[in-house]
């Protein structure tokens, strides 16, 4: 079955390419940037906002530095869910997001001028605010004006929001100027409104008691150390809220909230980094993703193989595989060289192309039988050493094996 890279100009792709990056964390906290020179029951009234200082987080640190807290259940959705059209699950690979993303997207592109409230899903403390002002991708950079927030609910569990368009008054008062980030200490009650967004906001949960086994080398992610502690957020909500979130999700396969960690030791599947480029951090801060590589599965249709390349003909690119075979989870050191012919794909709901804005279930990724964009050659040399080469504009029949331009990736 031919299945593979979504193409065409879409609002979904535009907003995903617009994501910025968080600044490097300090050693003292992996959740906050470095210091800088409709929940129906939630009220956004001034009196309710003023009550924030009476809501300490559930988890605290003891005098000896040990965490004292427990797993909590979020009683409120992270956004005004009735106004959201879709939830895009974890795991998108698009443009500079070469490895599967560690956040979900709450979206409504059908009403682009609609202000949608953002809530703290549980009591907590906003500990950092970043004022984002520029996109980061291989596309033309765009000016933006929104915020990244970290809310610590316990000393191990936090929420991260990205692209909050406007902040509640208490947060706006302490927010930094555009392009900067700062540490703050703003206490929130569960369900409190923290701001609004239009069209798209990103959301993730970080749980320091969780280490994703599908990211095999934690040291590779020191630039974004929360990534290895990022589970499916849906599991942190009470059943009624979780069911409402799942109803909005574009994914029907488990985990319905998405997946981002695919590494299997000794197999091709998962994420890799060009040798000598400092893992996820990359060798060049302006194109940190240049040496990233992922061979995994589509976030909506996990039967679809996706090859996500940091540098293909000079830019990041995502493709499907002609024939959708072999499964990268079956490729080992015993397999030898694998040649994937790289093709486009699009999303369907039955016989109709999905418009990439509307809620639909059972999305099916299908090849459009268009041209072959090139070939990706892979050979697993050792369990965590991969030889790879990407050759635009050729077919597998034209290849006789690796050329001297082949590269080594590791994990």
Q: What does the alpha-carbon distance between residue 233 and residue 91 come to, in Å, rounded to a whole number?
A: 12
pLDDT band (50, 70, 90) for residue 68: low
Domains and CATH numbers, the chain: 11-410 (2.70.70.10)
* Predicted pLDDT at 11: 38
Tokens of 381: 């040399």
Q: Cα(54)–Cα(43) distance, rounded to whole angstroms?
A: 15
Q: What's the pLDDT at 281?
A: 97
Contact 361, 354 (CB under 8 A): no
Q: How confident is the model at residue 136 (pLDDT cuts 50, 70, 90)?
A: confident
What would the DSSP string read from start to end of 21-56?
A: -PPPBPSS-SSSBPP----TT---SHHHHHGGGG--
The three-class DSSP label of residue 308 is strand
Give the pLDDT band (50/70/90) at residue 69. Answer: low
Residues in the chain, total: 411
pLDDT at position 187, please?
A: 98
Residue pLDDT, tens place only, 374-391: 999 999 999 999 999 999
Q: What is this structure's pTM?
A: 0.86
Distance of CA 137 to the CA centre of its chain: 14
Residues 6+ apart with CB under 8 A from 150: 31, 32, 126, 127, 128, 158, 159, 160
**Residues above pLDDT 70, as percent of the chain:** 83
């Amino acid at each position: 079955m031919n299945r593979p890279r979504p193409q065409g100009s879409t609002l979904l792709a535009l907003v995903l390419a617009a994501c910025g990056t968080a600044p490097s964390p300090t050693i003292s906290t992996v959740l906050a940037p470095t210091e800088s020179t409709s929940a129906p029951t939630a009220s956004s009234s001034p009196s309710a906002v003023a009550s924030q200082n009476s809501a300490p987080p559930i988890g605290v640190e003891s005098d000896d530095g040990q965490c004292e807290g427990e797993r909590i259940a979020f009683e409120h959705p992270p956004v005004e869910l009735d106004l959201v059209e879709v939830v895009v699950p974890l795991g998108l690979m698009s443009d500079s997001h070469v490895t599967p993303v560690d956040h979900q997207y709450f979206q409504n592109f059908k009403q682009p001028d609609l202000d949608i409230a953002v809530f703290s899903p549980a009591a907590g403390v906003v500990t950092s605010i970043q004022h984002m002002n520029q996109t980061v991708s291989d596309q033309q950079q765009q000016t933006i004006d929104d915020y990244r927030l970290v809310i610590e609910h316990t000393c191990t569990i936090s929420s991260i929001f990205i692209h909050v368009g406007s902040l509640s008054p208490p947060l706006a008062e302490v927010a930094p100027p555009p392009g900067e980030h700062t540490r703050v200490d703003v206490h929130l009650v569960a369900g409190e409104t923290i701001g609004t967004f239009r069209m798209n906001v990103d959301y993730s949960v970080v749980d320091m008691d969780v280490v994703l086994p599908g990211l095999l080398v934690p040291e590779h992610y020191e630039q974004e150390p929360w990534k290895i502690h990022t589970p499916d957020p849906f599991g942190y909500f009470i059943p009624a809220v979780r069911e409402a979130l799942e109803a909005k999700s574009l994914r029907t396969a488990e985990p319905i909230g998405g997946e981002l960690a695919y590494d299997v030791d000794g197999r091709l599947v998962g994420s890799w980094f060009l040798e000598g480029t400092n893992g996820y951090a990359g060798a060049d801060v302006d194109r940190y993703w240049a040496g990233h590589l992922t061979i995994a599965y589509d976030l909506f249709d996990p039967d679809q193989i996706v090859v996500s390349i940091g540098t293909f003909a000079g830019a990041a690119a995502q493709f499907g595989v002609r024939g959708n075979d072999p499964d990268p989870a079956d490729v080992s050191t015993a397999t030898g060289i694998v040649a994937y012919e790289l093709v486009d794909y699009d999303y369907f709901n039955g016989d109709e192309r999905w418009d990439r804005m509307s809620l639909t279930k059972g999305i099916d990724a299908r090849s459009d039988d268009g041209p072959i964009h090139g070939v990706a050659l892979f050979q697993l040399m050792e369990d965590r050493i991969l030889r790879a080469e990407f050759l635009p504009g050729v077919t597998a029949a034209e290849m006789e094996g690796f050329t001297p331009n082949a590269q080594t990736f590791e994990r």
